[in-house]
Structure 1
């Protein structure tokens, strides 16, 4: 039996039927869960054979290198295009850039970023050093895999 229903009547979907991703999403909690999962995986792999450690390190290093290069290329393209577009608009007279003010603003932001990350950087370096010392085979595999991922991208 075929009915002549209007397309809007056949699909009765309301906005409140769609789950919202912004509700009850705690970024810090998610980051902590991911961090603990990574630490657990690294500990577990560290107990496996040298071959498995090397394979795991190589695979994760390759994926990291590949993704970082793809993201880096996209970021470099975006920033470079933006700079070229700004300079073209500036030289054509569409906009006027106060380079001194821009430089001062960038320096202030850089100082704030450096101040807020200096403590975190030391903690991160300590964790990386601990992982390398306790899982040297996996760290070597990660390093080699990382450079292969960079080269492959």
Structure 2
């Protein structure tokens, strides 16, 4: 079974190499060695390939921008019309849990109690300020 996988991988690598060589051969036949051509031909080849690359990048960029922007606008309209409801508290809590797991994986230790308290105070500012106010009133008596 393992040797079959290795043979398959070798065949795929050979085929990809052949495709790459065919493409390289086509370009060499079409353009040739550019450095041996006259300066005018080099300038023409550089200008035309640059223009084609820029033109295609512009067209693809516009399509991507319209697609992403349009989908964001449609999602916002759907959310405003009530077709989509987003539970931001759930998203925030899951993001915090993922961040804690990532921190634990990177540093080897999870968030400290101080970090958890700071996060709670940041997420629940009214409860946190009320707690601090009550705490200060409690220690003054």
**TM exceeding 0.5:** no
TM band (smaller chain): 0.3 to 0.5
Q: TM-score, normalised by structure 2?
A: 0.44
Question: Which has a greater percent of helix?
Answer: 2
Larger Rg: 2
Q: TM-score, normalised by structure 1?
A: 0.41
